[in-house]
């Protein structure tokens, strides 16, 4: 009888210890994520200005948002950044992975050099960008003057500010390169060898063999980039404060303005929930469409 109770007692102690060690994560999750999540949902239905009483107003904040020209403009700016930055980042990440996939002298250094910038935070990137794209005296325009081209006012021009942010989005392609590099090295060699036997050239092998095998990684990276593109904030906060002429007024920065400059927490909470729903809906749409074009090798094996 004692022998049968001992394992159960030990199992109970192990479970208790596991819960004790995991409790900081659960507590942090409850306080920092779940709590604010439902508080924002509640405040989105109220007139909450931090100072003063909280008044329930129902859907009024949401109605105001759809009549708010700046909010609509911020959504358009976010969509612009998303549509341009995601394909560009995917192409550059994949190109970098293809470049360093095969070992060559200095390949390790090349991989490290491409990946290293993705380790730096947004504030560092913004500080560096302010020097590179600093009007006539920035590094970018100095290089252009060497070939007798007058560079634009990258961050001071409404026409060039958003494209500049898209360019800055390429700073983190190193993380995507690592993902694609792992996917490239897992492509079955027998498929490539069979394509060579069939007379396929390098472009045909890439398009018909390599690219389908990379499709799960491409979809995964697309989802990561999509979620990140809806959260653009640091570059705007440090470099332009939403200007010039609201050309870089992205939705997260506008929510920041509402919450911490106007102190209209109820309205900001409603805007954040609209952004959350748009992010969720767009992600679900991309997953639904992308899953039709994603190739999994084990699916073919299970059909045999």
The more confidently predicted of residues 235 and 7 is 235
> What is the per-residue pLDDT across 110-136, written as a single tens digit (0 to 9) for each?
899 999 988 888 888 899 998 899 877
Of the pLDDT bands very low, low, confident and very high (cuts 50, 70, 90), residue 9 is low
* 31 and 127 inside one domain: no
Number of domains within the chain: 2
121 and 260 assigned to the same domain:
yes
**What tens digit of pLDDT does each residue of 177-207 get?**
999 999 998 888 888 889 898 888 888 998 9
170 and 21 assigned to the same domain: no
| Sole residue written with tokens 């007692």 | 9
Residue 171: which CATH number? 1.10.3720.10
User: Are 38 and 119 within one domain?
Assistant: no
Rounded average pLDDT over 146-155: 89
Residue 220 belongs to some domain of the structure: yes
Q: Is residue 296 predicted with pLDDT exceeding 80?
A: no
- Domain contains 118: yes
pLDDT of residue 2: 45
pLDDT tens per residue, range 76-117: 999 999 999 999 999 999 999 999 988 888 888 989 999 998
Q: Is residue 51, in this structure, part of any structural domain at all?
A: no
Same domain? 36 vs 72: no
Higher per-residue pLDDT: 136 or 302: 136
Q: Examine residue 59 and state whether it is found in any structural domain, yes or no.
A: no
Q: Are residues 145 and 289 in the same domain?
A: yes
Q: Quick one: pLDDT at residue 5?
A: 46
Q: Would 53 be classed as within a structural domain? A: no
Q: Is residue 56 domain-resident? A: no
* Residue pair 115/107 in contact by the 8 Å Cβ criterion: no
Average pLDDT, the chain: 88
The answer to whether residue 217 sits within a structural domain is: yes
pLDDT tens per residue across span 241-266: 998 999 999 999 999 999 999 999 99
246 and 120 fall within a common domain: yes
Q: Are residues 266 and 183 part of one domain?
A: yes
**What is the token pair recorded at 159?**
């026409």
pTM, whole model, 2 decimals? 0.86
Would 50 be classed as within a structural domain?
A: no
Predicted local distance difference test score (pLDDT) of residue 122: 85
Domain span holding position 30: 2-43
Dihedral, 249, 250, 251, 254 alpha carbons, nearest 10? -30
Q: Same domain for 156 and 36?
A: no
Instruction: Give the pLDDT confidence score for residue 7 in this predicted structure.
Output: 56
22 and 72 housed in the same domain: no
Question: 179 and 95, same structural domain?
Answer: yes
Do 210 and 157 share a domain, yes or no?
yes
């Amino acid at each position: 009888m004692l022998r049968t109770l001992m394992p159960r007692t030990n199992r109970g102690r192990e479970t208790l210890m596991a819960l004790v060690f995991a409790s900081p994560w659960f507590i942090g999750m409850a306080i920092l994520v779940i709590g604010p999540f439902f508080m924002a949902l509640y405040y989105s239905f109220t007139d909450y200005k931090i100072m003063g009483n909280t008044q329930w107003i129902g859907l009024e904040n949401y109605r105001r948002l759809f009549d708010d020209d700046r909010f609509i403009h911020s959504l358009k700016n976010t969509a612009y950044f998303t549509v341009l930055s995601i394909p560009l980042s995917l192409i550059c990440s994949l190109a970098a992975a293809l470049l360093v996939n095969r070992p060559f002298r200095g390949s390790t250094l090349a991989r490290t050099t491409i990946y290293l910038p993705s380790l730096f935070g947004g504030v560092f990137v913004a500080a560096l960008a302010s020097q590179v794209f600093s009007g006539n005296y920035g590094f970018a325009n100095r290089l252009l003057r060497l070939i007798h081209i007058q560079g634009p006012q990258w961050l001071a021009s409404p026409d060039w500010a958003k494209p500049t942010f898209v360019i800055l989005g390429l700073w983190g392609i190193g993380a995507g390169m690592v993902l694609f590099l792992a996917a490239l090295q897992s492509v079955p060699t027998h498929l490539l060898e069979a394509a060579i036997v069939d007379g396929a050239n390098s472009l045909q092998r890439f398009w018909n063999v390599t690219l389908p095998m990379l499709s799960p990684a491409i979809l995964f990276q697309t989802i990561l980039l999509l979620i990140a593109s809806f959260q653009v904030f640091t570059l705007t906060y440090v470099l332009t404060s939403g200007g010039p002429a609201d050309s870089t007024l992205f939705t997260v920065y506008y929510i920041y303005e509402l919450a911490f400059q106007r102190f209209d927490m109820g309205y900001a909470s409603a805007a954040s929930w609209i952004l959350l729903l748009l992010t969720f809906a767009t992600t679900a749409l991309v997953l639904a469409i992308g899953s039709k074009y994603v190739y999994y090798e084990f699916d073919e094996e299970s059909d045999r």
